[in-house]
Amino acid sequence: MDKQIIFQELGEKERVLLLRAFDYDVDGEGYVLNFSGQRIKSDENPKKFIQAKFAALLPGSLKIIDGTPTAISEFLREREVKEKEDAR
């Protein structure tokens, strides 16, 4: 059986290579760029841009999210609120 690659466990160089393989890029300061060359803002904190060393892939997609502990906890908190609202 093939070994599964877990994006968050890759080193920064490997992350950059994988991001580039999926039409993202990384600028000289380490920020992730979209296909048009613009820095990607964190959905969890729109004042921050996502750095390759903290980037994470949203499970089941190629969407890049901020993988810092604070951003992940905010993402989970928002998801829980949305699920509760959808259940009503």
Q: State the DSSP string of 18-48.
A: HHHHTT-EE-TTSBEE-TTSPBPBPSS-TTS
The domain tally of the chain equals: 1
6 pLDDT higher than 60: yes
Asked whether residue 2 is domain-assigned, the answer is: no
> 25-79: per-residue pLDDT in tens?
999 999 999 999 999 999 878 889 999 999 888 777 888 888 888 888 887 888 8
3 falls within a domain: no
Residue 29 in any domain: the answer is: yes
Q: Is residue 65 part of a domain?
A: yes
b/e 32-59 (16+ beta carbons within 10 angstroms → b): bbeeeeeebebbbeeebbbbbebbbbee
The pTM for the full model equals 0.76
Q: Which domain holds residue 38?
A: 8-87
Q: Does residue 77 lie in a domain region?
A: yes
Query: Is 79 a domain residue?
Result: yes
| 12 inside domain | yes
